[in-house]
Amino acid sequence: MNLELFQSIQRRCFLQQSGCGLGSVALANLMAGQRSFAADNETPSLAPQAPHHQPTAKNVIFLFMAGAPSQLDLFDPKPEMQRLHGQPVPESFLKGLTDSLIKGSARVMASPRKFSRHGQSGMDFSDYLPRLATCADDLCMLRAMHTDVANHDPAQLLMQCGVPRFGLPSMGSWVTYGLGSESQELPGFIVLLSNNGPGDIAGTALWDNAFLPSTYRGVTFRSEGDPILHLASPPGFTRDEQRERLTVINDLNRTRQETQPDPEISSRIAAYELAFRMQAAAPDLVSFSNETKETLENYGIGDPKQDTFARNCLLARRMVERGVRFVQLYHYTWDDHSNLNDRLKMNCGKTDRPAAALIQDLKQRGLLDDTLVIWGGEFGRTPMNEVRRGNSPGAEGRDHHADAFTMLMAGGGVKGGQIIGETDELGYHPTKDPMHVNDLQATILHALGLDHERLTFRHQGRDHRLTDVAGQVISKAFG
């Protein structure tokens, strides 16, 4: 046992065994909600916690489009690309580019899509996103986002965990660690998946708690059937029998904790208790029997082309209604190296209607003011076509692009109807208001009332945070 771990256990034992003095002070602080955000030995809890400052949002719904949608074909029209279509990309745009394959096939590929302006803001949208376009005046479009890497897994990890490597807590885990949850029957951080088959996604690391207590890990839900496999009681067990069984298990865990203080034991007890409450709450959550026919039609539920993502969007609304702090939807894959036009049509057909319905539904119910909705992927796509996977007319695609892409935000105090950031005439480099992924994370935390520099957790001798050593709040997003 190393010295640091030994000293940590000593501190835990001392605080736990102190019936008065520091032990009672620690208990009083926890009861008052005055939480230490840098403590590595506190009892994990999903009880609501006080934010650092006045929040503009209480909840987050992140619609993560894994695989990277093409900003040039959805949000950022470039007339100059029409003029240069099929011609070699000017050398000025290729400076610093190290990918020889891209350089070897660097010919401009104009978007095959048609764009039009929407809302009082005149925001540009592709004809593949007609429903989302109706939300223009509720949306803040971030057109000059950039990231550090152009490979899926590390870029997704950077977007969700703050750095492009495995082993760090996800954004939802940080948020629930910092603020807890207002739901007593559901987890504070829930993950919903929809996909078109195998795709590029970094897996459970994207919603992992890493070194934070396991209480803050994202819980994956299914949109149909049992929300969580094996959640229901075994056949023949009544709820009273299940309660008695759970009480015995938790008593054994508490006895163990008396001799071996460990926050993970507390996490285990809390998980058992939450699972017991979820047995009653979760089936009602996924039942849409009390939703109107109009609501179901607005989301597209029942349409086989978009049913899974549509159900997940409606579930997300029902979750924030019930106090869930952070809901993450993953739809993949948008990795369109070939057949860009057809694949964009497919993915937009699955997601456009439900995403717009979610924003409109939240707004109609008065929930959008308190709920921050985010739409986007891990990076963007190149303005040139890619030939590695076929280059026949109509089957072209675009490669990964880390230097410039677009994301959307709505609600939660964000000012809608505005575009922040600009890119050059080929959409290759930001030319105004460049925003890094860590800036977006700092902004999300800021909306929730959290200072990204103060939300820390001490691990292995270092204070870690979601934004690592970077990040600035995008203040323009709030008007």
C-alpha distances (whole Å) from 194 to each of 24, 335, 364, 404 are 47, 15, 25, 26
pLDDT over 70 for what percent of the chain? Answer: 79
Bridge partners, 158 (sequence order): none
Let me know if 157 is exposed, middle or buried by CB neighbors in 10 A (0-12, 13-18, 19+): buried
User: What is the pLDDT, as a whole number, of residue 280?
Assistant: 67
User: In the chain, which stretches have pLDDT less than 50?
Assistant: 1-3, 5-41
Structure tokens at 230: 């094996």
Give pairs for 297-302: CB < 8 Å, separation 24+: 298/353, 298/357, 298/360, 298/361, 299/353, 299/354, 299/357, 299/358, 299/361, 300/353, 300/354, 300/357
Evaluate the omega torsion of the peptide bond into residue 295 and state whether it is cis, within 30 degrees of 0: no
- 371 Cβ contact partners less than 8 Å away, ≥ 6 residues apart: 57, 58, 59, 60, 61, 320, 362, 411, 412
Whole-number Å distance between alpha carbons of 173 and 179: 10
How many whole angstroms from its chain centre is CA 143? 18
User: What is the pLDDT, as a whole number, of residue 223?
Assistant: 61
pLDDT in tens, 133-160: 999 999 999 999 999 999 999 999 999 9
Instruction: Find tokens 């102190």 and name the residue.
Output: 18
User: What is the pLDDT, as a whole number, of residue 123?
Assistant: 98
pLDDT in tens, 15-43: 444 433 333 333 333 333 334 444 444 56
Structure tokens at 446: 């800021």
- Are 242 and 276 contacting, i.e. CB atoms less than 8 angstroms apart? yes
Whole-number Å distance between alpha carbons of 282 and 301: 19
Instruction: Find tokens 């029209």 and name the residue.
Output: 77
Bridge partners, 259 (sequence order): none
Strands 59-66 and 371-376: parallel
The full set of domains in the chain, from first to last, is: 33-80+109-237+286-478 (3.40.720.10)
Let me know if 255 is exposed, middle or buried by CB neighbors in 10 A (0-12, 13-18, 19+): exposed
pTM, two decimals, is 0.84
